[in-house]
Structures are given as structure tokens and as C-alpha cells.
Amino acid sequence: MQKCPLFLCLFVLLTGSACQKNDPVPAPPPQGSMIPNTGELVRSIQWSNGTLAQVQYNADSSLKQINFSLLNSVGSTIFEWEGGKMKGMYDNRSLYKNTYHYDGNRVSYYINTTRDFVSATSYKMEYLYNANGQVSKLNYLTTNEAGSKLKTTTSYEYNTAGDLVKATTTSDNSVITHTVDSYSDSADFNPLLFIEVGLYEYYTLYNLAVFSNLKKYPAKITRTIKTGANAAYIDRIVEHVCDITNRRINKITSHSTYPANPQYNSSIEAIFKYD
């Protein structure tokens, strides 16, 4: 069942929302939470491919689970909380789980490993921050019986307004650059609606530490790849057209373009429903 990279299509992104007159006001996030007040609560997201996400919350308005369905396929993403912080998330159809660790209110790292049995295999995402509290570097490490290995390092760049403009990921023989060319208007959204449990291809952008600092939704992302001594080339361009009213995201229409392989071009629409 394709839920659209959560957004890259998923886009769920967001419990996007802002309170309008006469709209119910949700309880504020638990004290100490790194997740900002996201306004009205998204109750469902309907994609144009038929996927439906129904969103459930705890009594304090923290995200409890997202139930996905498409035809006869169903599945849920479950969120676990401790002391006002999101400590774990997993897909109930998967053997794996993300467990988050914090330094104060910041995610210092998370580990993806098996949920119900001990395994020597796992991976870790480790975050470093600049003086402004923004993610400056992400280290992706894998662990198995032979030990731990640094797979990639991602460096982040910001403009003078504090907007993320570039994430550059280096490995042994390649450099992948995600450039955020533009953003939507200001919007309120829950970053947890847009991140994946597994190693999604846009993990350097769509992760809790990075997305929690965004005040606008990425409107255009260009991915450039350079391998070895070969020339860099644009692999994919993703554009999100956001319908926003009073900071509330009503709809996101996403277009993916592959310059070298136009047969893979696609579009999908996500409609957000609130209380």
C-alpha cells in the first residue's frame, strides 16, 4: 500500500493548522515537548490514489496513531510518549521500531532496530546542532555483528532568514544534494505526520529533528546526484502546491519530475480534514 511517502506525498505533513474563529482549540503540547503547537488537529488525510489516513490522538492532543487503508490493505503507525517527548514509533506491519533519545528538548539520536526480539543489526541517526538550535549535521551509522560503520554524513545550510536551503549527503563515492528552492506560505503542521519509520529516500529532510524547525512547507525540492568523477545531474524535482488558509493546510498537490526518465513523472493530491 503506497501512502505516498508520507508525504513527499505524505504530506501529511502536517497536522497543519491554525485556529479560526469558533474552531475548537486543542490542548497545548505537553510541557517539554519539542513538537510545536500545531493548531487544529488533523483527523484524516485522503489521497487521490485512494489511500485514507485516519488520525487518533491522546487526551493531551499528542499523536497516538495513524491508521492507513487502501482497498483491502490496512496498517497503522503507532507513537509512544514519555515525559512529553515522542520516544518511539513503529508500523504495526513491521518488525522494526524507531527509539528516540534526547538532549533536553532536542533529538540527539534515534535507533532503528527490531521491536520484539534482540538483533545485532540496527542503524542510528545522530544529530548535531548549530548555535541557533538548527540541525547542522546528521550522521547515519549502521551496526551488525562486525561492529558500527558510518554510512553517510549530511551537512545542512540555512539562509539569513533561518530557512533550510540545502542538505548535502556524502558517502564513500557519491554526493546527494537536496536543495529546497522555495517554501509555501507560513503554516502550522505536525512534523510527525510527515516522517517515516524506515529509511525513506528523503530521510535527510523528513525527520523529526529537521521538520520540527520548519515554519513553512517545502514547496520545491531538487535532488542532485554526483557519483565518483562523473558530472552531477538532477535526478528528481518534487513540487508541493499547498492550499493554506489562516496557516491551516487544506490540500497539498505534489508533482514528481524525473528529467532523465519522464515516464516516471507523477502527481498526487492529499486533502486534510480537521475537527
On average, the pLDDT of the chain sits at 87
What CATH number does domain 42-274 carry, 2.40.50.140, 1.10.510.10, 2.40.160.190, 2.60.40.10?
A: 2.40.160.190
SS3 191: helix
Closest CA to 173 of 146, 156, 151, 194: 151
- Rounded Cα–Cα distance for residues 152 and 148 (Å): 12
Checking if the pLDDT of 198 tops 90, the result is no
Q: CB within 8 A of 143, min separation 6: which ones?
A: 120, 121, 122, 123, 124, 149
- The pLDDT of residue 117: 87
* CA quadruple 229, 231, 236, 240: dihedral sign: positive
Please give the sequence-ordered ranges of beta strands (E in DSSP) within the chain, or none if there are none: 42-47, 52-57, 63-70, 73-82, 85-91, 96-103, 106-114, 122-129, 135-144, 147-158, 164-170, 174-186, 216-227, 233-245, 248-257, 266-274
Checking if the pLDDT of 59 tops 50, the result is yes
Closest CA to 161 of 139, 183, 176, 136: 183
Closest CA to 188 of 231, 149, 244: 244
Residue 209 sits at φ, ψ, to 5 deg, of: -65, -45
Checking if the pLDDT of 46 tops 80, the result is yes
Residue range 122-154, pLDDT digits in tens: 999 999 999 999 999 999 999 999 999 999 999
- Where does residue 19 rank: exposed (0-12), middle (13-18), buried (19+ CB within 10 A)? middle
228 CB neighbour count, 10 Å cutoff: 8
Buried (b) or exposed (e) across 49-62, using 16+ Cβ within 10 A?
eebebbbebeeebb
Distances in whole angstroms, Cα of residue 90 to Cα of each of 78, 114, 117, 166: 5, 10, 14, 28
HEC profile for 31-61?
A: CCCCCCCCCCCEEEEEECCCCEEEEEECCCC
Checking if the pLDDT of 42 tops 70, the result is yes
Checking if the pLDDT of 159 tops 90, the result is yes
How far out from the chain centre does Cα 16 lie? 13
Own/partner contacts of 79-85, CB < 8 Å, gap of 24 or more, are: 79/192, 81/30, 83/30, 83/32, 84/29, 84/30, 84/31, 84/32, 84/33, 85/32, 85/33, 85/34
- The pLDDT of residue 246: 93
Q: Which single residue is written with the C-alpha cell 513538537? A: 35
Checking if the pLDDT of 3 tops 90, the result is no
Domain ranges of the chain: 42-274
- pTM as predicted: 0.85
Checking if the pLDDT of 32 tops 80, the result is no
